[in-house]
Structure 1
Amino acid sequence: MEVLEAIWGLLAVALLAFGLYCCYVKYVHLKYDYIPGAPRASFFFGHLPYFWRKLKNKEVAHDLFIQWAEEHGPILRINYLHKISVVILSPEGVKEYLMLPQYPKDPDIYSMFFNIFGVRFFGNGLISDPNHERWRKQRRIMDPAFSRTYLSGLMGIFNEKAEELMKVLEEKADGETEVDVMSLLRRVTLDIIAKVAFGLELNTLHDYQTPFPRAVDLIAEGMTKIRIPFFQYIPWNRKKVKEIQDSLRLLRRTGEECFERRRKAMLNDEETPLDILTQILKSEAQEGGCDYDSMLDNFVTFFFAGHETTANLLSFTIMELGRQPEIVAKLQAEVDEFVGVRRDINYEDLGSLQYLSQVLKESLRLYPPAPGTVRWTGTENVIEGVKIPANTALNFNTYVMGRMERFFKDPLIFNPDRFGKDQPKPYYCYFPFALGPRSCIGQIFAQMEAKVIMAKLLQRFEFQLVPPQRFKVLESGTLRPFDPVVCRLNLRNPLGF
């Protein structure tokens, strides 16, 4: 009898808690329901079922925002459980919330990447740290190493690693061999960030089965798995979870060894590589030191984000150029004019390749690997005539704004002329590297790297996509081509090299 009474008591408490939670969810709904938005698919899950359906069908969930913006306007309410976020697809809102420092990153969203399955991942690095003062100190230490002036002195490494890729491609350039270009780009960008940033020779272009690149791939998989509820607690997932945890530990252990070796060399006045790590450690000493865990967080951040997004940008660009022969012809003419048959591309050459810059910008408009960012507002505001309450998560999406007719004419057409010198600038509706004080620190690095690789590829090869190639986007943490970008290659001018 006492057991039954205890069970009924627990059930009553659970029902009361459930009822109170329902009331709280309803209270939150009433607080935000005046903001336009699509009808909720579920009282509890709000709009989440729409996104789940998209992801299940391997479609881009962000496309929902384009449809909803056309129906409900540029300010959209998104419900999920007891939480609300507001999607802002307005240049006025982008300017207000991204350009000013008083709006931090949303701590709830970015805390998801503090760790993966209990092992520290991005931690409090530059991408994920919501604390503005702590972030600002890190950024002050890192900024000199990512300046255009400093990176221009590293062009030799960009050329060296890109040239290794060209040699691999030349061996396959017989017009018949099918080459998985996207896979090779992921390898070479990993080699480049390792050498340019930390003086490490990974050699993944020639051997991708070594532990480090394998670890990077597993971590990328982990970023998608953490979005699956209770994934780590399901017994048959334990092996995968352990592999991902071990991979995270390997990256951090490599970072510790790298920092210690370099610090020791600098203390002993030994010759050190002129790379990003050397500059960071010099800046750290001048700024009075930085939290060691945060330094390791940034090591992991640079490795992961520093190769994935650039590889995806290059893959999307080659995918699109595969159906744009007129654009390819213009690009090759530009490269022939300013680079000719020289193997090394100079920093000054990058500024001359204006049409290549336009092509890469247009690729980032249609296919931004990092589609958006999230901010948190502690104050009430009004954007596009809609009141934005205080203590609200705000979503900004360059993928969506880049595909809206409101901002770009014929948005689904690949047209690099949009970014010509005489064209109006797309203010506050185009931000593939974010905007304002928390814009991506690696954007100059990525643009230089992409230009060097693309210029060499256009200089050396003709390429044709191997069908079937679906020109679709896959959402997997970052945005990447749905299909592997597989090409057949021919040398353009074998006598010139």
Structure 2
Amino acid sequence: MSKIWYARAWMGGYWPWVLHDAHVKYGDIVRIGPNELSFGSVQSVKDIYGPPSKMRKLFPKSDLMYDIGEPSNVAYEMDPKRHAQRLKLLAPGFRTQSLRDQEHIIHEHVDLLMDKIAHLSQTSSNGVDMSTAYEWLTFDITGQLTFGESFGAVKEGRSHFWISILYSSIYAASLFTLRKRLPILGLWLVFMALFSPSLKAIIESNKQHAELTLERVKKRIEMGDTHTPDFFANIIQSGELSEAEMASEANVLITAGAETTAVGLVAAIWYLSTNPSTMEKLQREIRTSFKSYQDITGDSTAQLPYLNAVIEELLRIFPPTAAGPSRKSPGEWVDGHYIPKGVGVTSHNWFIQHDGRIVDNPELFEPERWLGERSKDKPFTWPFSLGPRSCLGINLAYMEMRVTISKLVYRYNWTLAHDLSNGYDWPTECRMKMLWRKAELRAVFRPAEIWSEKATS
């Protein structure tokens, strides 16, 4: 299998669909490159990403994807002991009590966005681009929780420079990943860096992004105690990380924390808009569960069964990352097959979560599959990974999605501004390049009757 096949699909952003089709054609095990396999079964996920035991060895991260040199961070650190040390430093900022103390930050930014939507709806004739608006929101929240101050994107109604150049930085990282799989690409990149203005711009943006992140970290250190248990409070107090190491952690915390949550929120706009009966059920649950907008909290929304089913279904049908993390076999069994030491392995979550053998009518958006009797056979999903490498921010992400969706549904009715009769399909317009490059998704908002009544009473 040529790595050129992989490179074309990866650079084009079509990797989730290309690999899905390969699994449909060839089965649960697909060779995606020399010495590299993709699995498409639930058991493979448990075998590859589950915690090690006396009976099973740990599958370490693959150097093809994660060897970024120094300074590393909690997402890319390949050494299990160093990874555990980073986790210990970061964990206090993600504990239950910390999330409760941080919740007011989420509400402040969500409320600001709700007001901004009202303003943009009055000034724009073609709706509000929620792909962009939700980026403003989630980056502002994670910026506040990481650097002690927001990027101010929602307030200004435009993306901060740090956010704008982030995607160039991510694209540069994706090229780095390909360079390791296809060494000749490294020579091409050197050549193009000398003569291609666009590639020069990407390299320069990557440099600017690193410099700006370091500046923000230094400013956060100078702030000292912010009286809110943010992500960096324990790290600064410990004194164990250098400024460069803290900048590396900040990059991954903000990127992973903001972009993945934004994907789920934008997906909610699409799937609720294109499934009117689902929208009606969610509106009914939210608008009858709260006497006032102020009653919407992280705890109160956790009690809403249909809302939580909607979120689980969103994470299934359009997962925040659609390329399974790369691992190296330590010489172990995966789904009944012995995989020699050193062979690259991954489980393709997009295929698994859209496999008709596992999920009934997988292309249909059906929150009901997570409720009642149907929940006994609910789909297997793993949007935040498994085992010792699972996402630290899972509870924060769920709370952000619950609160944001609830407040939006309570306050607004909306319709899409796109002409769906011409075939516009938001999910297939998106591209996966390390993270999702979200397509534009415009919606026209009107105040909900319940909100209008509260506002005038």
Match of 2:328 among 376, 381, 384: 376
Distance of 1:359 and 1:95 partners within structure 2:
25
Q: Which residue number corresponds to residue 104 of structure 1?
A: 60
User: Which residue of 200, 219, 232 corresponds with 1:277?
Assistant: 232
TM-score normalised by the chain length of structure 2:
0.86
- The match for 2:55 is none
Match of 1:476 in 2: 432
Partners of 2:190 and 2:300 in 1: CA distance: 49
Alpha-carbon RMSD across the aligned residues, in angstroms, is 2.5
* Aligned partner of 2:218 among 244, 256, 281: 256
1:467 match: 418
State the TM-score, normalizing by the size of structure 1: 0.79
- Distance across 2 between alignment mates of 1:103 and 1:216: 30
The aligned residue for residue 139 of structure 2 is 190
Correspondences of 1:236-255 after superposition (within 5 Å): 236=196, 237-255=199-217
Partner of 2:399: 448
Return the match for 1:354 from 284, 305, 308: 305
Alpha carbons 1:461, 1:491 under 8 Å: kept: yes
User: Shift in Å at residue 62 of structure 1?
Assistant: 2.2
Whole-angstrom distance in 1 between the partners of 2:133 and 2:310: 21
Alignment of 1:78 onto 2:32: yes
The CA deviation at 1:431 is 0.6
1:168 aligns to 2:121 (yes or no): no
Residue 69 of structure 1 corresponds to: 23
| Contact 1:75/1:386 (8 A) holds in 2 | no
Amino acid at match of 2:233: T
Alpha-carbon distance, 1:185 to partner: 0.6
2:280 alignment partner in structure 1: 329
Structure 2 unaligned segments of length 5 or more: list them. 53-57, 180-184
CA distance in 2, matches of 1:294, 1:318: 37
Structure 2 CA distance for partners of 1:210 and 1:183, relative to 1, 3 Å? closer
> How far did 1:63 drift?
2.3
Match in the other structure for 1:49: 5
Q: Give the counterpart of 1:219 among 148, 164, 169.
A: 169
> Residues 298, 470 of structure 1: CA spacing in aligned structure 2 closer, same or farther, 3 A cutoff?
same
**Partner in structure 2 of residue 179 of structure 1:** 128
Pair 463,197 (structure 1): closer, same or farther in 2 beyond 3 Å: same
Rg (Cα) greater in structure: 1
> Tell me, what secondary structure is at the counterpart of 1:100?
coil
- 1:116-162 deviations in whole A, cap 9, x for unaligned? xxxx7xx4111111110000011112112112232022111111000
Per the TM alignment, residue 99 of structure 1 is displaced from its structure 2 partner at its CA by: 1.1
Shift of 1:415: 0.7
Is residue 304 from structure 1 mapped to residue 260 from structure 2 by the alignment? no
Aligned partners of 2:77 and 2:244: how far apart in 1? 12
Give the SS at the match of 1:463: strand
Q: 1:184 to 1:246 in 2, by over 3 A?
A: same
Matched residue type, 1:311:
A
SS of the aligned residue for 1:153 comes to helix
The 1:307–1:295 alpha-carbon spacing in structure 2 relative to 1, beyond 3 Å, is same
> How many equivalent pairs are there?
427
3-state SS of paired residue (2:149): coil
Matched to 1:438, the amino acid is R
Q: Counterparts of 2:304 and 2:368 in 1: how far apart (Å)? A: 14
- Indicate the percent of aligned positions where both proteins have the same amino acid: 20
In the alignment, what sits opposite 1:419?
Answer: 370
The answer to which of 458-467 and 382-391 deviates more is 382-391
Report the Cα offset of residue 307 of structure 1: 1.0
CA shift in 2, pair 1:232/1:359, >3 Å: farther
Residue 144 of structure 1 contacts residue 280 of structure 1 at CA under 8 Å; is this kept in 2? no
**Counterpart in 1 of 2:448?**
492
Measure, in 2, the Cα distance between the counterparts of 1:51 and 1:198: 35
How far is 1:441 from its partner? 0.8
